[in-house]
Amino acid sequence: MLRFLTAGESHGQALTAIIEGFPAGVPIAQGFINNELRKRQGGYGRGKRMEIEQDQVEILSGVRNGQTLGSPITLQVKNKDWQNWQDIMGVEEGANIGELRVTKPRPGHADLAGTLKYGYTDIRNTLERASARETAVRVAVGAVAQAFLNVFKINILGHVIRIGDVEAQADYNRLTEELYETQLYCTDEKVLGKMIEAIDEAKIKGDSLGGIIEVAAFNVPLGLGSHVHWDRRLDGRLAQALMSIPAIKGVEIGLGFNSAKIPGSQVHDEIAYNSARSFYHLSNNSGGIEGGISNGETIILRAAMKPIPTLYQPLKSVDIFSKENYLASIERSDNCAVPAAAIVAVGMTAFEIARSFLEKFSGDNLREIKNSYDNYYNYLRQV
Amino acid sequence: MLRFLTAGESHGQALTAIIEGFPAGVPIAQGFINNELRKRQGGYGRGKRMEIEQDQVEILSGVRNGQTLGSPITLQVKNKDWQNWQDIMGVEEGANIGELRVTKPRPGHADLAGTLKYGYTDIRNTLERASARETAVRVAVGAVAQAFLNVFKINILGHVIRIGDVEAQADYNRLTEELYETQLYCTDEKVLGKMIEAIDEAKIKGDSLGGIIEVAAFNVPLGLGSHVHWDRRLDGRLAQALMSIPAIKGVEIGLGFNSAKIPGSQVHDEIAYNSARSFYHLSNNSGGIEGGISNGETIILRAAMKPIPTLYQPLKSVDIFSKENYLASIERSDNCAVPAAAIVAVGMTAFEIARSFLEKFSGDNLREIKNSYDNYYNYLRQV
Amino acid sequence: MLRFLTAGESHGQALTAIIEGFPAGVPIAQGFINNELRKRQGGYGRGKRMEIEQDQVEILSGVRNGQTLGSPITLQVKNKDWQNWQDIMGVEEGANIGELRVTKPRPGHADLAGTLKYGYTDIRNTLERASARETAVRVAVGAVAQAFLNVFKINILGHVIRIGDVEAQADYNRLTEELYETQLYCTDEKVLGKMIEAIDEAKIKGDSLGGIIEVAAFNVPLGLGSHVHWDRRLDGRLAQALMSIPAIKGVEIGLGFNSAKIPGSQVHDEIAYNSARSFYHLSNNSGGIEGGISNGETIILRAAMKPIPTLYQPLKSVDIFSKENYLASIERSDNCAVPAAAIVAVGMTAFEIARSFLEKFSGDNLREIKNSYDNYYNYLRQV
Amino acid sequence: MLRFLTAGESHGQALTAIIEGFPAGVPIAQGFINNELRKRQGGYGRGKRMEIEQDQVEILSGVRNGQTLGSPITLQVKNKDWQNWQDIMGVEEGANIGELRVTKPRPGHADLAGTLKYGYTDIRNTLERASARETAVRVAVGAVAQAFLNVFKINILGHVIRIGDVEAQADYNRLTEELYETQLYCTDEKVLGKMIEAIDEAKIKGDSLGGIIEVAAFNVPLGLGSHVHWDRRLDGRLAQALMSIPAIKGVEIGLGFNSAKIPGSQVHDEIAYNSARSFYHLSNNSGGIEGGISNGETIILRAAMKPIPTLYQPLKSVDIFSKENYLASIERSDNCAVPAAAIVAVGMTAFEIARSFLEKFSGDNLREIKNSYDNYYNYLRQV
């Protein structure tokens, strides 16, 4: 059973993840993971911290001579800013916190709920872990999953299909690695200008923008996930994976919310067959998942990201301890992180697809898994 | 840790669920569960099987003298139709299947993907378990969770806010148990006529309609779920729970997809305080969850249901074994099950909220849990 | 991932189990399961309840026409005595308990700890679930696992190697199904008389006897379990499985505690190879598991069962509510249940071996699993 | 739910663990953890690597200013020997392995089973993770659990009660922290000389010795674990935890295997009550656990460790690839690691007791947990 844990505060020493249950013999290179980390740090609308960090993963276990060992994989991403935060974030008693205690919860963050839940006296104890910085190491985990899936030619890519009120048309021909050299990871060149304008305009107003990202998983075999028990359905697992990304407020698959609006005769994907492709569908309104099971078509997921909690434009709040009202207004440099969210969503999608893949095509090493996979494909061709 | 398994085929003997990890001393009555089962079977647009079944739960363990024991709870809902299906669905070798093997997959169902995944030679082996009939026992599980939550005045209700292209305005004042005496579980009386008309019209055309349902969880305490690890976030868990319901293709929380379209200054909920209510928010765009944690406001979830796979209007498909093309067109009696989905969604939401509640306010019996809960509320009032 | 839940009180309506994650296409017959249930009820030293119950399983889901479907399997064993207990054990409020409340905890049972832990006011709420009757349905679960393992010629058998101070010599040639037609499931004919005498003698004195049982799992492939993470080690999983059986106080593998007493040169199993058998060991002191992994030799487990808490010979105790001292002395009919424990241990061992087997040789149906298994055996022969 | 993952190869860069589900507000000092690491490295019979490593933990997350945050805790123990192993154990492709491939499996190790299971071509890929070095970070995890339990005056200590054929009498008065300044962590001064002699004698012969260790957990509250479901029983969980330690071949609780040998009247612990202590037992043959639940008495666990696989005295083996017979005989410096195993066993016991403790007395921070605990103790006093 593939599983992982992540750890790390935003201004602590390092983010760490351990992946357990990963098979042996899978080629993994730190460079491949670093490229995903770079993509997560890119995108128009990001602020200065991205420049400070330039995340690099270190693999501390589970990989030897370029291949996985089957033992747990440790991924670590150091926080380069740590040296400036040692006093405040020190592990040992006697950290020099003093006046630096945070007591003013920012609307739209975990600040209030997290601090009251845990009974903290310093909101920093919430915000350090609730920060989206944690997604850096999730992207590293996802990259390891992608390296595995790539062996089976499963390719997962994310792109931006909306920034604020600017909507894009998806162009899947442009959904390739080159897209991540662009500013917004958006395949619709016609709206790029408007998107950048919208971000700039929001910035001038001290405001922020969210958007919608789409993840496409190509070449996923028919048969991942299962209808037999609710928590093994691939749709449910992917929904949790994406909704668990900070600031995500909605997830849909295929036609998604639109499938609620049109009659059944226009929704369901008709079935066809030819000997080259075996069974396939004449459309993909289901987004590649029916009955909780991948159906052989491209898996299409969309997630809605709310705007970064903006703090230029002052919002009302209350000091947790003094109960004094104040206006939350702190300068920050990001005002749109939608492209980054697309990369995080790719990582989480890759992990969940790898998990379901390994439930169907289990094995202790890549050779065993390939055998199971090939055996299944032979069956599919001959059924 | 609260957990449950469900089992049962649509035309087998019975649906069964076992709930493990439920505390002792919680009042549970079969009548309460049966009322939820009745609500699931109701709603305009349902067909004749609903009348055949009139589901009744039997509690076979874990409850004595009207109270839970802390031991696993067995819930069983017999399939009244079983006697007519014993030959085809018999457990022992020699079931009389013969010509009754199903080989034609219906578009929009798990039929194709499930049958190829499992390597079945009879599609019935897929459809019996993929059927939404399984949700009956999920509703029973959810009713047990609700009985627990009700002790803490947490109340979870679902309603219909869209049928096809007819949209309703939510009226939370009408969101009470009485709503489930109505035909469509919709609080907007002005659109009821249009909704029924739309269902009738679709039926005449041999078509079907989906819709959107909303679940509101009132009085959930601030602090359920956690930002500290992705799989403990309440938003992710609820997303999985709702997306795992058959035919659900999208899930959103609070403003959901709309929060991607408007600037941050209009999205984030400002924070206020008064001594009677402690901290609260001036709006609820977040739908009661921030940073993966309940924030004390009403939790608002919406889910999009695709139309029932319609089979009056013929759709193209291919026989799995002969590979012959055919037009899938089988008469069935439901053509809209959106109200029922609202009840299933309530059940799944109740389970997940109860699970997160018991992680924060653990204990072996209700008295211990109440103590933890009261202790926390005292802290919240004095913080 | 193979998992199961059990439910049911000793005098409730029924014991129920749901097994989830079991592959499709495995032949299962109720008769096979019933035979295991019969073996659990046998053995010299058992009392009258065994005759009342004569357990029979009903499979309520997950099996059709003699084969598993891949969907969850419901196993139910009705309590035939239920009709006499409906008043006391009734589910609905108003059960007629009155004077029948149990307030005197029996030494050696869960009575005291369970009742205080859960805050019950009737010890019956503990003893109904703590009763070893629950193991009937575990045996049924184990039988399903055995049916699967038998396909791969993995055969798991249990026998008695000690009753009180009478020790037997294991004779593996006699460890066959015929053994379960005998009185004590012991392969050493020379000590049978002494064992029966010891049980009779204890009974006359109002005393009880425990013993040691051994489980042998034949033909388990090399490679189940894993050294890479502590909770995937097969030895640890089997230890939990056996120690979780009521009255078991010790578990050992291979030489077990004796391996602590002799030097390493006499403990470690030397390795040999020939082309027919591939690698094998010249002895089996490790009991078939090295580094948490099955090593291809017979897996040998032993478990120590304490005597049934005897209640003829009075033991001191205290009424939970009145705090009055009393002498616990209630007549009961079993005074030795060691043979039954051997059957329960077989069931739990079968489940855990099946779980680890399915982690290595995954697949949705038996054909896929066989392919994985054959592929691995080909590799082992050619390595 | 408390959980942890460990990672790291014996000659890799570092051992890492992440603990998730740990409450906030618990005082943790690196020095406390380091002291446990030091105890694990001590004990007569250890070789030179212990001197090289002198393990030190670094806490990389989850602790700030001397207290836990409730977020995941990263523990890292660097391998000081790493610099000498970079060529062989390097992560990136191109590690300089060449002639250094290990192909000769050592009897008594995971070498053969692990290498064939994973399909490795270098036994090093097994032995690096199967090495008992991994237990260093388990001890660190256990130390964090102990720091938590200490708040509730739960104290867990381990000692050596047998080395080879030399048996000790446990003297619980000497079972204190001072014991870990001695050579063998054995409370029986009379046999110390014999034990050391036995180790020396074995060493001269090129042989090794195992032994038996005992763990005592003092002041564990009545009510941890549960009889209601097999996998929640405390005895089963502890058995898995101890059996999962490398080289452990047997686990027993209380009288353990001896309880199988004597009649019930001499086994079961009689129950008494006085107002100061509430309920207690007149003996502790059950080792503090009845019905899978802690019963308020000291928890007593014993584990049997087989001798370190000795390689001075040659044992027969076969090269995995060439199939040539050879005599396995490699010099190594440890020949008895029983005292170290006692410390690892303490760590694993502490983790499992903390896990069960947090299931009963849940809460997000120490204050909430204390409230639950105090509330329960008040109930126990008044029942």
Strand partners, C157: C216
Cβ of D310 within 8 Å of Cβ of C264? The answer is yes
Q: What is the mean pLDDT of residues C50-74?
A: 91
Q: Assess contact for B297 and B286: CB atoms under 8 A.
A: yes
Token pair listed for B104:
């034609």
Q: With 80 as the cut, is the pLDDT of residue A311 above it?
A: no
Cβ of B128 within 8 Å of Cβ of C18? The answer is no
Residues of D within an 8 Å Cβ radius of B: 1, 20-21, 70-72, 223, 226, 228-229, 358-364, 367-368, 371-372, 375-376, 379
* Of B128-137, B346-355, C133-142, C330-339, minimum mean pLDDT range: C330-339
D68 Cβ contact list (under 8 Å, min separation 6): D22, D23, D24, D25, D26, D28, D62
- 3 state SS for chain C: CCEEEEECCCCCCEEEEEEECCCEEEECCHHHHHHHHHHHHCCCCCCCHHHHHCCCEEEEECEECCEEECCCEEEEEECHHHHHCHHHHCCCCCCCCHHHCCCCCCCCCCHHHHHHHHCCCCCHHHHHHHCHHHHHHHHHHHHHHHHHHHHCCCEEEEEEEEECCEECCCCHHHCCHHHHHCCCCCCCHHHHHHHHHHHHHHHHCCCCCCEEEEEEEECCCCCCCCCCCHHHCHHHHHHHHHHCCCCEEEEEECCHHHHHCCCHHHCCCCEEEECCCEEEECCCCCCCEECCEECCCCEEEEEEECCCCCCCCCEEEECCCCCCEEEECCCCCCCCCHHHHHHHHHHHHHHHHHHHHHHHCCCCEHHHHHHHHHHHHHHHHHC
Cβ of B66 within 8 Å of Cβ of C14? The answer is no
* Of A352-366, B295-309, D93-107, minimum mean pLDDT range: D93-107
- Tell me what pLDDT residue C26 has: 98
Q: With 90 as the cut, is the pLDDT of residue B287 above it?
A: yes
Dump pLDDT digits (tens) for C322-377. 999 998 766 566 889 999 999 999 999 999 999 999 999 989 999 999 999 999 99
Dump pLDDT digits (tens) for D263-288. 999 999 999 999 888 999 999 999 99
How large a percentage of chain A has pLDDT more than 90? 86
- Tell me what pLDDT residue B49 has: 55
pTM, two decimal places: 0.97
- Cα(D29)–Cα(D75) distance, integer angstroms: 12
Q: With 90 as the cut, is the pLDDT of residue C95 above it?
A: no
Token pair listed for B239:
């997303």
Comparing CA positions, the residue from A206, A200, A339, A210 lying closest to residue B259 is A210
Q: Assess contact for B341 and B213: CB atoms under 8 A.
A: yes
Q: With 70 as the cut, is the pLDDT of residue D329 above it?
A: no
C31-51 exposure pattern, b = at least 16 Cβ within 10 A, e = fewer: eebbebbbbbbbbbbbeeebe
Q: What is the mean pLDDT of residues C171-181?
A: 96
- How many angstroms away from the CA of B256 is the closest CA of chain D? 27
Dump pLDDT digits (tens) for C191-206. 999 999 999 999 998 8
D9 CB-contact burial (10 Å; exposed 0-12 / middle 13-18 / buried 19+): buried
Cβ of B249 within 8 Å of Cβ of A259? The answer is yes
In order, the DSSP letters of A323-370 are --EEEE----S-S--HHHHHHHHHHHHHHHHHHHHHHHS--SBHHHHH
User: How many residue pairs from chains B and C have C-beta atoms closer than 8 A?
Assistant: 174
What is residue B160's three-state secondary structure?
strand
Round the average pLDDT of chain B to a whole number and report it. Answer: 94
Contacts of D206 in chain C (CB under 8 A): 265
Helices (H), D152-188: none
How large a percentage of chain C has pLDDT more than 70? 96
Return the residue of D nearest to A16 by Cα.
Answer: D74
- Tell me what pLDDT residue C333 has: 65
Cβ of C89 within 8 Å of Cβ of B64? The answer is yes
- Cα(B371)–Cα(D330) distance, integer angstroms: 61
Cβ of D244 within 8 Å of Cβ of C252? The answer is no
What one-letter code names the amino acid at B326? Y
- Cα(A221)–Cα(A295) distance, integer angstroms: 7
Residue A45: pLDDT band with limits 50, 70, 90: confident
Name the CA radius of gyration of chain A, rounded.
22
| ipTM of the complex, rounded to two decimals | 0.97
CATH of the domain at D9: 3.60.150.10
Dihedral of CA C9/C10/C14/C17: which sign? positive
Strand partners, C35: none
- How many angstroms away from the CA of C154 is the closest CA of chain A? 19
Q: With 60 as the cut, is the pLDDT of residue D50 above it?
A: no
Contacts of A310 in chain B (CB under 8 A): 263-265, 268
Greater confidence, A132 or B52? A132
Query: Would you mind telling me the total number of residues written for chain A in this entry?
Result: 383
- Tell me what pLDDT residue A313 has: 72
- Cα(B347)–Cα(B317) distance, integer angstroms: 34
Selecting from B71, B229, B359 the residue whose C-beta is nearest the C-beta of D362 gives: B359
Q: Which helix (H) or strand (E) holds D198?
A: helix D189-204
Round the average pLDDT of chain C to a whole number and report it. Answer: 94
Q: With 90 as the cut, is the pLDDT of residue A46 above it?
A: no
* Angle ∠(D320,D321,D323) on CA atoms, nearest 5: 70
Q: With 90 as the cut, is the pLDDT of residue A64 above it?
A: yes
Residue B47: pLDDT band with limits 50, 70, 90: low
Contacts of B116 in chain A (CB under 8 A): 222-223, 279, 380, 383
- Cα(B371)–Cα(C175) distance, integer angstroms: 55
- Tell me what pLDDT residue A237 has: 98
Return the residue of A nearest to C378 by Cα.
Answer: A368
Tally of domains in chain C:
1
Selecting from A60, A70, A120 the residue whose C-beta is nearest the C-beta of D118 gives: A70
**Domain span at B56:** 3-382
End-to-end CA distance of chain C: 29
C349 Cβ contact list (under 8 Å, min separation 6): C142, C156, C158, C215, C217, C238, C241, C242, C299, C301
Dihedral of CA C35/C40/C41/C46: which sign? positive
Comparing CA positions, the residue from A367, A371, A355, A224 lying closest to residue A299 is A224
How large a percentage of chain C has pLDDT more than 90? 86
What is residue D318's three-state secondary structure?
strand
- Tell me what pLDDT residue D334 has: 80
Q: Which chains touch A (3 or more CB pairs under 8 A)?
A: B, C, D
Round the average pLDDT of chain D to a whole number and report it. Answer: 94
Cβ of B59 within 8 Å of Cβ of C91? The answer is yes
Q: Assess contact for A288 and A223: CB atoms under 8 A.
A: no
Q: What is the mean pLDDT of residues B303-314?
A: 85
- How many angstroms away from the CA of D112 is the closest CA of chain A? 15
Q: Assess contact for B239 and B251: CB atoms under 8 A.
A: yes
Q: With 70 as the cut, is the pLDDT of residue B331 above it?
A: no
Selecting from C7, C66, C97 the residue whose C-beta is nearest the C-beta of B73 gives: C7
Contacts of C11 in chain B (CB under 8 A): none
D324 CB-contact burial (10 Å; exposed 0-12 / middle 13-18 / buried 19+): exposed
Q: Assess contact for D302 and D251: CB atoms under 8 A.
A: yes
Q: What is the mean pLDDT of residues B319-347?
A: 88
Cβ of B20 within 8 Å of Cβ of C5? The answer is yes
Residue A28: pLDDT band with limits 50, 70, 90: very high
Token pair listed for B112:
């194709």
Q: Which chains touch D (3 or more CB pairs under 8 A)?
A: A, B, C
Cβ of A128 within 8 Å of Cβ of D367? The answer is no
Q: Assess contact for D248 and C236: CB atoms under 8 A.
A: no
- Tell me what pLDDT residue B359 has: 97
Pairing outcome for strands D57-61 and D73-78:
antiparallel
Q: Assess contact for B223 and A113: CB atoms under 8 A.
A: yes
Comparing CA positions, the residue from B292, B219, B288 lying closest to residue B254 is B288
Q: What is the mean pLDDT of residues D70-79?
A: 98
What is residue A242's three-state secondary structure?
helix
Q: With 90 as the cut, is the pLDDT of residue D313 above it?
A: no
Residue B48: pLDDT band with limits 50, 70, 90: low
B382 Cβ contact list (under 8 Å, min separation 6): none
Contacts of C93 in chain B (CB under 8 A): 27, 29, 65-67
- How many angstroms away from the CA of B336 is the closest CA of chain D? 40
- Cα(B142)–Cα(B135) distance, integer angstroms: 10
Residue D252 has φ and ψ, to the nearest 5°, of -145, 160
Comparing CA positions, the residue from A49, A131, A139, B289 lying closest to residue D61 is A131
- How many angstroms away from the CA of A143 is the closest CA of chain B? 17
- How many angstroms away from the CA of D1 is the closest CA of chain C? 15
- Cα(A106)–Cα(A108) distance, integer angstroms: 6
DSSP 8-class letter at A23 = P
Q: With 80 as the cut, is the pLDDT of residue D212 above it?
A: yes
